[in-house]
Structure 1
Amino acid sequence: MQQFAMYINGASANGYKSLEVINPATGSAFAQVQCGNSDDVDSAVAAARAAFPAWAATPWAERKAAVQKLAGLLEANMTELMELVTLETGKPLGGLAQIGSGMELGGAIGWTQYTAELELPVEVVQDDDQALIEIHRKPLGVVGSITPWNWPLMIAIWHVIPALLTGNTVVIKPSPFTPTSTLRFVELAGSVLPAGVMNAVVGEGDVGAAMVDHPDINKIVFTGSTPTGKKIMQGAASNLKRITLELGGNDAGIIMPGTDIEKIADEIFAACFHNNGQTCAALKRLYVHASQYEQMGQLLAERAKAVVVGDGLDQTTQLGPIQNAAQLRIVEELADSARADGGRFLAGGQRIAGDGYFFAPTIVADLSDGSRLVDEEPFGPIVPLIKYDDIEDVLRRANANDRGLGGSVWGDDVAAAAALAMRLESGTAWVNTHGSIQPNAPFGGVKQSGVGVEFGAHGLAEYTSIQTLKIAR
C-alpha cells in the first residue's frame, strides 16, 4: 500500500493518525495518508508566514521562472500523477470525450504555463505637474486553499499557481478522499520552491475550520459545496479574510426549437456525463422543446446504454465510479425521489452490482421544476429532461434555481441562442457547448454558486490587494 505524508516547511510531516484512501472502483484502500489537526495547521501557517517576506520580495521574473519549473515537473511526472488521480477519483485515464485523468493533468500543465505568462503591471492614473498616482498590486500574505475530490489536482493548480506567482505563500488542504495526487505534487514542488512557500495539511472538517479561523491566513480559496462555502464565508469574518468561493452549480441547458438535435446529441451527452456528472459546471438540467422532447430522450438513452462503465485504469473505460459511498447514496436517493415523482427512466436508474461505487448512467423524463432531481444538484450520472413549450417560460424556469454557475443555449440560429444565453443568470453562458473553460476566460458563479472569479488576469488580481501610491509634485 502506498504511503503519503503531509508537507510542512520544506519537509515531509507525519500526523497524529493515518487515513486510508479508497479506490472507488474497488471499494478497497490503495494508500495510507498522514492526517493532521489544528496543531499541524498552526505549524504550516507559521512556516508560510515566515517564508512570505522573502517570497514576496522575490522579483516577478524569478517567481515566473519557478512557476514554469512547476509546469515542467507536472509534465515530467504526468504518468505517475495520472495514475494517482485515477486511483483516488475513479475517473478513467482517457474517459468520455477524452475528459479523464489525462485531461486533468493536461489541464493542470496548461493552466500553469498560461498563468506563468500573466502580469499585473503598475497602472498609472495620473502623471502631471500636480502628482504622480500609481496603482500597485501587492500579495496578500498566506493563502489557504481547500480543494474538493472531483478534480483534485487541477483545482489545486487553479488555487496555488496564481497565489505563488503574485508572491503569496500557501497552505493547501486537499480532500481526505483524494489527497494523494496533491501531496505528490507539493512534494515535487519542494524541489523548486523555498521551504515554507507551499505546505500541505491533510485532514477532515476540523482542519478546514482551523484554516478558516486562523488569524494569520489572509485569504481562503475554496471549491466545493454551497453549504460549506457559507460556513467559510462566516468564518472568514474573524479577520476579514479575502475569499474566492467556487461553489455548486445546477446548470441548465436549453435546446431551442428546431435545433438539429442529432448533430448535438454526442456533445450534450458528454456535457452531462463527463466525469460521471461530478463536475460543478456539468449540464445538470436539460430543457427540451415539446416538438423534439421524445427524440432527444431517445438519443441520450441510446448513448447512456452504450457508454462503457468500469475501472478507470482500463483504457476502454469511458465512465468510472462515483467517487465515494456517501455521494453514491445521494444519487440513489435522488433516483428514488424521481420515481416517486413519476419520472420515466429511459436508461439506467440503479447501482451496478460489484464492489465499486458504480451507478448506471441514467436519463429521466417527465419531471418538472419542483422535483428534487431538477431542483437539486445530483453530482452524479443522472440527468432529468424537462419539457417546455414557450421560450420565455423556460428562461424563467432555468433562472428560478438558486444556483448560477453556468448555463447554455443550443440552437442553429446562433444569434438568437446567444441573445437568450445572455439572459441566463449564470457566471458563464455558453452557446452550443457547455462546461468548456479555459485559463484566459474568467470563471465564477453568481447567486449561491460563489464569490469572485478564477482564471486570467481577473482571477490573478484576486490574490492581491491594491496599494495606491501618490507622489505630490
Structure 2
Amino acid sequence: METYDALLAAIAPTNGHDSRTILDPATGRPVGEAPVHTVEDLERAVAAAAAAQPAWAAAGHDARSAALLKAADAVERSAEELARLLSREQGKPLNGPNARFEVGACAAWLRATATTELTPETVVDDGETYAELRYKPIGVVGAVGPWNWPMMITIWQIAPALRMGNTAVVKPSEYTPLSVLALIQVLNEELPDGVLHVVAGDRGVGARLAEHPAVGKVMFTGSTAAGKAIIKASADTVKRLTLELGGNDAGIVLPDADPKAIAQDLFWGAFINTGQTCAALKRLYVHDDIYDAVCTELTAVAKAMPMGVGLDENNVLGPLQNKAQYDIVAQLVDAARDAGGRILTGGNPDSDQPGYFYPATLVADIDNNNPLVTEEQFGPALPIVRYSTVDQAVAMANGLDVGLGASVWSSDLAAAREVAARIEAGTVWINKHGAVDPRVPFGGAKQSGYGLEFGVEGLKALGVPQIING
C-alpha cells in the first residue's frame, strides 16, 4: 500500500517534463504537481503498448482475469489514499456516493469484469453447416476519460480492454490528471510491464490518440461535442468507437407514486456527485395531482444534505469541479429565475466562500422550453415541470436530441414498465435513477453516443468478431 505522500511522489513530474499545479476546487489550495505530457510521450506510450500486446493476448483469458483480480486487490490496499486524492482534486466528499464509493466501484468493476464469462457461440450446427462466433483482441485501445468520475470511468474503459487481450493508453481529463495517474500507478503494481500506460496531456494529445494509426479503438466518455470531434478524427483509420456522451435525463413521476417514499431516491438520482454525472436525473416531470407534494418532500431532503469541503467526514455534497461548470449552473438558474421559475431551495451561492460551491437548487413552475430544462446543467440544479397526461410527459421526455438514461416513478410496476418502453433512452430505470451494474449493459441513444459497456456485451465491444465456418 502506498502512503498518500508516496503516491503523490510516485506520479510527480520527472526531469524534463513540464508541470502544472492542480488546485482543490473546494479550497483553492494546491493538491499536487501534474506532469504535462506531450505528443512525443504519447507516441512512446502507444509504441510500448503495441509491443506488449501480442504477449498479453497470448497469455489467455484465465491469466488476464487473474491479473485483473490482483489489480483489484491493489486498489483496495490503497483505497483510502486514492479516495483522499480524488476528494481533493475532483471535490467530491469522502462519504456518501462519492470518493470512497468511487474507489470501491473501481475494485468491484475489476472483479466483475475479470469473472464475466465470454465463450465461443455456436451460430449454426445443423449437421451440414457449422459456424462459431469468437472475439479476438483489437490491439491497442485508447481510453479518454472525463473529470466527474475520473477513476471509475477509467476502469470502465480499461478493464474490459485488458480482459479481452488488448493493451491500453489512457488520456485523463486535464482537470483531474492526478487521480488517474495515481490509479494507473496502483494498477501497474500488479499488471505486466507495458500493458497499461497513461499520458496526461492536453487536447492535442487527445486528438492524436483519436487519429493514431496504431490505436484500434477509442473509448470515450464526455460531451457530445467532443465525441463528434473524436468520430471525425478516427475516420481515416476506421477505428472502432464506444462513445458515452452527454445526457439530459428525464424522470417521469406517475400520479400513483408516493411522494415521501420516493423523495430520497429522487434526490440522489439528480444530485449524486453534486449533479455532475452524465446519467443523473436532469429534468423531472411530475403529475399535477402530486406536484406540490413531490416539491415539498424533495425540498425537505435537499435542505438536509450537508455541502462543504470533501475531507470533512460530515459532508455528502461538494463543489463544482471547475469554474467553467460553476458558471454554467449559475447562468442557467439565474435565467430560470428571471423567466418566472420558483426557487424552492438554493439558487443563492455565497460569493464570499472559497471554492466552486453552488447550493443544491430546486426550481418549480418552470416552462419545459426553459434553458435549465433543455440544456444539460451538469450540476446541482433540478427543474421540476408539471404535466397533466402521461402522453404529454412522454412527449416532453422524448423532445430532446439526447437519450442516455431516464426513469419512471410509480407504485404500479406494470404501468411504469409500459411508460418506460415508450421513452427514447438507452436505459430506463424504475423507481430509481442512474443505478449501474457491471453485469447489465449500458449505453446511450440518439446523440448520447453508441456502443455498449459492461457485462458480456461490454467485453464483446472490446474484441473483433470472427466467424469460424466449417
The TM-score range, normalised by the shorter chain, is over 0.9
The answer for the alignment partner of 2:348 in structure 1 is 350
- Deviations 1:270-316 (CA, angstroms, capped at 9, x unpaired): 11111100011111101111122222222222222222111111111
The answer for the alignment partner of 1:141 in structure 2 is 139
The answer for the alignment partner of 2:223 in structure 1 is 225
Letter in 1 for 2:339: D
Q: Matched residues in 1 for 2:119 and 2:305: separation?
A: 48
Gap change, CA 1:77 and 1:374, over 3 Å in 2: same
CA contact (8 A) 1:148 1:174 kept: yes
Q: Matched residues in 2 for 1:238 and 1:13: separation?
A: 35
Query: Residue 470 of structure 1: CA displacement?
Result: 2.8
CA contact (8 A) 1:15 1:40 kept: no
Letter in 2 for 1:334: L
Helix, strand or coil at the partner of 2:184? helix
The answer for the alignment partner of 1:9 in structure 2 is none
Letter in 2 for 1:200: V
Alignment pair present for 1:20 and 2:18: no
Q: Matched residues in 2 for 1:232 and 1:150: separation?
A: 19
Mapping of residues 89-238 of structure 1, within 5 Å? 89-95=90-96, 99-127=97-125, 130=128, 132-238=130-236
- Pairing partner for 1:288 from 286, 289, 298: 286
Helix, strand or coil at the partner of 2:261? helix
CA contact (8 A) 1:35 1:203 kept: yes
The answer for the alignment partner of 1:424 in structure 2 is 423
The answer for the alignment partner of 1:45 in structure 2 is 46
Q: Matched residues in 1 for 2:22 and 2:63: separation?
A: 36
Q: Matched residues in 2 for 1:335 and 1:194: separation?
A: 49
Query: Residue 123 of structure 1: CA displacement?
Result: 2.0
- Deviations 1:365-401 (CA, angstroms, capped at 9, x unpaired): 1112211000011000000000111110111111011
Q: Matched residues in 2 for 1:251 and 1:293: separation?
A: 19
The answer for the alignment partner of 1:309 in structure 2 is 307
Helix, strand or coil at the partner of 2:466? strand
Give the superposed CA RMSD.
1.6
Q: Matched residues in 2 for 1:177 and 1:20: separation?
A: 11
Query: Residue 190 of structure 1: CA displacement?
Result: 2.2
Helix, strand or coil at the partner of 2:366? coil
Q: Structure 2: which 5+ runs fail to align?
A: none
The answer for the alignment partner of 1:278 in structure 2 is 276
Q: Matched residues in 2 for 1:35 and 1:301: separation?
A: 43
Q: Matched residues in 1 for 2:429 and 2:393: separation?
A: 16
CA contact (8 A) 2:11 2:182 kept: no
Q: Matched residues in 2 for 1:426 and 1:15: separation?
A: 47
Q: Matched residues in 1 for 2:14 and 2:187: separation?
A: 15
Q: Matched residues in 1 for 2:183 and 2:151: separation?
A: 8
Q: Structure 1: which 5+ runs fail to align?
A: 7-11
Helix, strand or coil at the partner of 1:374? helix
The answer for the alignment partner of 2:254 in structure 1 is 256
Query: Residue 260 of structure 1: CA displacement?
Result: 1.1
- Deviations 1:138-165 (CA, angstroms, capped at 9, x unpaired): 0000000001011111111100010001
Letter in 2 for 1:71: A
Letter in 1 for 2:210: V
Q: Matched residues in 1 for 2:450 and 2:382: separation?
A: 26
Query: Residue 3 of structure 1: CA displacement?
Result: 4.5
Greater Cα offset, 433-442 or 177-186: 177-186
CA contact (8 A) 1:252 1:398 kept: yes
Residue-pair matches, total: 463
Query: Residue 351 of structure 1: CA displacement?
Result: 2.0
CA contact (8 A) 1:14 1:34 kept: no
- Deviations 1:22-60 (CA, angstroms, capped at 9, x unpaired): 211102221111111211111110111111111111121
The answer for the alignment partner of 1:326 in structure 2 is 324
The answer for the alignment partner of 2:441 in structure 1 is 442
Query: Residue 453 of structure 1: CA displacement?
Result: 0.9
CA contact (8 A) 1:21 1:176 kept: no
Query: Residue 213 of structure 1: CA displacement?
Result: 1.2
Q: Matched residues in 2 for 1:297 and 1:330: separation?
A: 24
- Deviations 1:63-104 (CA, angstroms, capped at 9, x unpaired): 111011011111111111111111111111112xxx011111
Greater Cα offset, 56-65 or 115-124: 115-124
Helix, strand or coil at the partner of 2:349? coil
Q: Matched residues in 2 for 1:110 and 1:294: separation?
A: 40
Letter in 1 for 2:75: L
Alignment pair present for 1:383 and 2:378: no
Gap change, CA 1:68 and 1:13, over 3 Å in 2: farther
Query: Residue 188 of structure 1: CA displacement?
Result: 2.1
CA contact (8 A) 2:11 2:185 kept: no
Letter in 2 for 1:67: L
CA contact (8 A) 2:46 2:215 kept: yes
